[in-house]
Amino acid sequence: MIRRRNPLVGATAATMLGTAKVTRAAFYPEPSGAPGAPFGDPNLKLVVMSAMMDKGIIDLGTREELAEHVLGRPVDLDREGYYPLLPVRTYLERYPLTREMLDKVDTLYFDGGNTIYSYIWKFWGGEDESFDVTDMSGIANCPNITTLDFTSMVRLVDLETLKPPMKLQHLTLGVDLANLPALLDMPDLRGVKIYDDDIYRDVMTPGSPARQVMEGLKARGVSVFVHWISSDQGEPPAYQ
């Protein structure tokens, strides 16, 4: 007896596959607004979205699922992941973020290992400026941030932009800084760590501007730690 293919089986499988595609498409919101909104720099938005992914505030699925949704075709990231998928980046830059989502963000890490970067460029080596943040404007749209860690990815942090209404409690600063005295205008600050050769040299000089800032913070009970990055004087101690 010849066994013939049951057309209903094929139809069912096709229907299920189509349903899966529809369900996955419905899972991703339509992009809206200007790239990067509500932040001035799209790369700052990526940092915020990475924090949201880590906290489960948003779910982008797997790298492959997101890429296939955006590109509308099968994707092999082991082959295509050696360069950035620009349509994926464009989609993320216009991903809609609600006030409720933004209010749930309390910690941001500026680091080349952030989760979201591999969704755009799976094998990105972190050795270029593709994701560097050059504009911190709009960060106050996350009003409940208490911890910021600037390990890298930022060319310059102007501390004036981090003053109230932000409620920062913990700051780690390993990048170039401007307006160090602004730390004194952060009433909720509990701890600050700075890794910078110039600031270290200044803070180790009694009466210097940086030293005065740190002494003012310590007088308020703020934990202070200032360390050099490179030294030709052996292993000098940190200022704390």
- DSSP H helices in 34-85: 42-55, 63-71, 77-80
Rounded Cα distance between 140 and 194, Å, is: 22
Sequence-distant (6+) residues with CB within 8 A of 147 are 106, 107, 108, 168, 169, 170, 171
Cα–Cα dist 201/18, whole Å: 64
| Tens digit of each residue's pLDDT (9 = 90 or more) over 99-125 | 999 999 999 999 999 999 999 999 999
pLDDT in tens, 70-103: 999 999 999 999 999 999 999 999 999 999 999 9
Query: Is it the case that residue 11 has pLDDT exceeding 50?
Result: no
Question: What does the domain layout of the chain look like in residue ranges?
Answer: 33-102+114-124, 146-230
The one-character DSSP state at 239 is B
> Phi, psi at residue 26, to the nearest 5°?
-70, -20
The pTM assigned to this predicted structure is 0.86
Percent of the chain residues topping a pLDDT of 90: 84
| Phi, psi angle pair for 220, to nearest 5° | -90, 0
CB 49 within 8 A of CB 97: yes
